[in-house]
Amino acid sequence: MFHLAKQLRLPGPGGAVAAGAARLANGGTRAVERALDVLLEFARDPANHRGDLGISDLSRRLGLPKATVYRLVETLTARGFLIRDAETGRCRLGPAVFRVGSVYLQQLDLRRAALPVMREFARLTGETVNLNVAQDRRRVCIEKIESDQDIRHFVELGRPMPLYAGASGRVLLAFMDPVEIEAVIAEGLRRLTPRTITDPARLRADLAEIRRRGYAVSVGERVDEACAVSAPVRDASGRVVAGLTISGPAYRFRAERVRELTALVLRGAAAVSAVLGHAAENARAGEASATRPAEGGVSTHGEVVARLTRFLDLVAARRLSEAEAFLAPGAAIVFPGGVRFASLQEMADAVRRRYRRVRKRVERWDVLPAADRVTVYCLGMLEGEDGQGRPFMGVRFVDRFEVRDGHIVRHEVWNDLAERGVV
């Protein structure tokens, strides 16, 4: 309306209303910009160890009238972004800033932990793989690996979606606080397709079933003819922080394939959870699953894990010629940052130059079988001394192996040594 009035120079009340609306919109934008400038000012003075600023300080730095700064500070204080000392009147950052920053950091960790599994699943299944979190009683996709097939399920990053419709949302809703679940239901269950669950009692029953079995499946609930399977990702405290989903067109998700994808997404979610520090709730169940025969007749899971354990032991003992026997000809060895090594000796030399001592403590193995190979994730902690002799511990690592006919064809290593500042 504003752009039309401006272009045609409409006379009379209509043009005046449009111009007034434009001024209000511009004024609102300026107010937001100024409020953000106030917050950012607290990060621009690293020498201010107290981290507090007064109204006069902010007014002088921002070039704004004190009355304007006062109003902005009052609003930010009311929202918890600032705390104002009752005696001195000086301000410092409030708990709302911490909450926003925590969400940002958590999502960075989630994406970093999940991406290796997501890429592998996209390659194995040919379907779209996405990672979702709950925000403001909505489901939001924060990462995705799209299928390369002509007909595929499209997932939009960052767009809020209903929690109650589809496996990606319901696997998050099921593990939320009961008060939050009821709040979502109270907002209304709008029908999106003929298959959308709109009855509160039926939704509550479905959420209870998801909690019991540990995963969610949906067909055409948010988008017609779209199917999804999703499993919860947990952090070190056991809290569900995300959902890992494989989705695609329903005609490719027949009953048998849904069962296969469900088993896959459960293992993948467990692998991501382990990277985030979550310990498996039932170690015996995990050990039992590791002894089941792999699909495709490659090997049993137990045999694969035993061989890889032996390989890591030989590498740690620097018996590299024996360890080379576990590698297929031309096997790829890839370290963080995409650094590739032509041999185990080259890899060992690089590690020895950078670290005085490194020891791996394995916490978990996850085995993902396919028709012609087995992908294995080894997860655990690193400890040792960096190149300057400073000790480090509690550093997460993930080793990813591709095994074919009993030999390693690819070995990828990820760890957060760099993020932890270890040199």
Model's pTM, two decimal places? 0.50
What CATH number belongs to 114-279? 3.30.450.40
CA distance linking residue 297 with residue 303, whole number of Å: 12
Is the per-residue pLDDT at 203 higher than 70? yes
- CATH topology for the 286-415 domain: Nuclear Transport Factor 2; Chain: A, (3.10.450)
Other CB atoms within 10 Å distance of the CB of residue 201: 8
| Residue whose tokens read 């979702």 | 132
pLDDT score of 105: 56
Identify the pLDDT of residue 287: 33
Q: pLDDT digits over 358-368, tens only? A: 888 887 887 77
The model's pLDDT over 301-344, given as tens digits with 9 standing for 90+, comes to 667 888 898 898 888 888 888 889 899 888 989 887 778 888 88
Residues in Cβ contact with 392 at an 8 Å cutoff, skipping those fewer than 6 apart: 382, 383, 384, 385, 386, 417, 420, 422
Residue extent(s) of CATH 1.10.10.10 domains in the chain? 2-97
| Level-2 CATH architecture, domain 2-97 | Orthogonal Bundle (1.10)
Which residues in the chain are classed under CATH 3.30.450.40? 114-279
The three-point CA angle 232-237-242 to 5° equals: 25
* 121 or 155, greater pLDDT: 121
Calculate the average pLDDT of the chain: 79
pLDDT in tens, 40-59: 888 775 444 457 889 998 99
Lowest mean pLDDT among 3-12, 124-133, 163-172, 339-348: 3-12
Model confidence at 65, pLDDT cuts 50, 70, 90, reads very high
Closest to 315 (Cα-Cα) out of 343, 293, 291: 343
Assign 3-state DSSP to the chain and report helix, strand, coil percentages, each to 5: 45, 25, 30
Q: What are 366-420's pLDDT values in tens digits?
A: 777 766 778 888 888 888 888 788 887 777 788 888 888 889 999 988 876 655 5
Classify residue 304 by its DSSP letter.
H
Given a cut of 80, whether residue 1 has pLDDT beyond it is: no
Q: Which two tokens stand for residue 35?
A: 């409020």
**Where do the CATH 3.10.450.50 domains begin and end in the chain?**
286-415
Q: Which two tokens mark 243?
A: 């959902």
